[in-house]
Structure 1
Amino acid sequence: MIDARHPRPTDFSAPPTRVDLERWADADRSARPARLGRLRARMEEAGVDAYFGVRREHMRYLTGFSLAETETASAGDSGKFLVTADGVRVLADSRYTIQARREVPDSVQFECYHALSERWPALVAEAGAHRVAVEAGFVPHATWERLAAAAPDVELIAVEGWVEADRQVKEPAEIERIAAACAVADRALAALLPMIRPGMTEAELAMDLEWR
Structure 2
Amino acid sequence: MENKKKVIEVLDKLGLDAVLVSDGYNMRYLSGFSGETGYLFISRNKSVIITDFRYTIQAKSESKDFEVVEISKGYMEPINELIASEQVKTLGFEDGSMIHRSFSGLKEKLHVEKLVPVNEELNDLRIIKTPYELECIRKAEEIGDIAFSKILDIIKPGMTELEVAAHIEFLMKTNGADKLSFDTIACSGINTSMPHATPSNKKIENGDFLTMDFGCKYNGYCSDMTRTIVVGKASDEQKKVYNTVLEAQLAALDYIKAGYQGKEIDKVARDIIYKAGYEGCFGHGLGHSVGLFIHESPRLSPTEEKVIRACMTETVEPGIYIEGFGGVRIEDLVQVTEDGHINFTKSDKKLIEL
Where on the TM-score scale, by shorter chain, does this alignment land: which range? 0.7 to 0.9
Q: Is the 8 A contact 2:50 2:75 kept in 1?
A: no
Q: Which runs of 5+ in 2 are unaligned?
A: 172-354
Q: Which runs of 5+ in 1 are unaligned?
A: 1-32
The percent of aligned pairs where both chains have the same amino acid is: 28
In structure 1, the partner of 2:332 is none
| Amino acid corresponding to residue 43 of structure 1 in structure 2 | L
Choose between structure 1 and 2: higher helix proportion.
1
| Amino acid corresponding to residue 165 of structure 1 in structure 2 | D
Give the Cα–Cα distance (whole angstroms) in 1 for the partners of residues 169 and 96 of structure 2.
Answer: 34
Give the Cα–Cα distance (whole angstroms) in 1 for the partners of residues 170 and 138 of structure 2.
Answer: 23
SS in structure 2 at match of 1:187:
helix
**Larger RCO (alpha carbons 8 Å, 6+ apart):** 1
Q: Which moved more, 1:37-46 or 1:112-121?
A: 112-121
In structure 1, the partner of 2:208 is none
Larger radius of gyration: 2
In structure 2, the partner of 1:51 is 19
Give the Å deviation of 1:121. 2.1
In structure 2, the partner of 1:115 is 74
In structure 1, the partner of 2:88 is 129
Q: Is the 8 A contact 1:48 1:131 kept in 2?
A: yes
Pair 1:183-2:142 in alignment: yes
CA distance 1:116–1:140, change in 2 (3 Å): farther
Give the Å deviation of 1:90. 0.4
TM norm structure 2: 0.45
Give the Cα–Cα distance (whole angstroms) in 2 for the partners of residues 154 and 123 of structure 1.
Answer: 15
| Amino acid corresponding to residue 93 of structure 1 in structure 2 | D
In structure 1, the partner of 2:6 is 38
Q: Is the 8 A contact 1:65 1:103 kept in 2?
A: yes
The size of the alignment, in residue pairs, is: 171
After superposition, residues 200-211 of structure 1 pair within 5 angstroms as 200-211=159-170
In structure 1, the partner of 2:62 is 103
| Amino acid corresponding to residue 65 of structure 1 in structure 2 | F
Give the Cα–Cα distance (whole angstroms) in 2 for the partners of residues 139 and 146 of structure 1.
Answer: 11
Give the Å deviation of 1:113. 3.1
Choose between structure 1 and 2: higher strand proportion.
2
- The two structures, once aligned, show a CA RMSD in angstroms of 1.8
After superposition, residues 5-84 of structure 1 pair within 5 angstroms as 33-67=1-35, 72=36, 75=37, 78=38, 80-84=39-43
Give the Cα–Cα distance (whole angstroms) in 2 for the partners of residues 41 and 201 of structure 1.
Answer: 52
